[in-house]
């Protein structure tokens, strides 16, 4: 697998996690306090770790999006033939 393909797959996995996260929040929506705590704690932590536009202040030291970008950058850099 090339680094570009790996970056694409990481982004696909992040999208799948976002879909599952939305499903989990729907399930947690049965009780206002349960939903509020989930929305305040684990939900934003996971979204921020995925990277991209999450709507929360702050960020991750290294998100999944950052990793995908780094893989692509490494693929694009020309190799030195010295």
72-78: list long-range contacts, CB under 8 Å, 24+ apart: 72/3, 72/4, 72/7, 74/3, 75/2, 75/3, 75/4, 75/7
Per-residue pLDDT at 74:
74
Per-residue pLDDT at 6:
95
Domain ranges within the chain, ordered by starting residue: 3-76
User: What are the pLDDT digits (tens) for 2-18?
Assistant: 999 999 999 999 999 99
DSSP state of 81: -
0.85 surpassed by pTM: no
């Amino acid at each position: 697998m090339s680094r570009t393909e790996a970056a694409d797959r990481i982004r696909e996995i992040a999208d799948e996690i976002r879909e599952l996260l939305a499903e989990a929040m729907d399930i947690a929506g049965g009780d206002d306090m349960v939903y509020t705590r989930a929305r305040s704690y684990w939900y934003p932590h996971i979204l921020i770790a995925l990277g991209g536009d999450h709507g929360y202040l702050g960020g991750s030291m290294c998100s999944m999006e950052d990793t995908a970008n780094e893989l692509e950058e490494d693929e694009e850099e020309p190799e030195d033939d010295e």
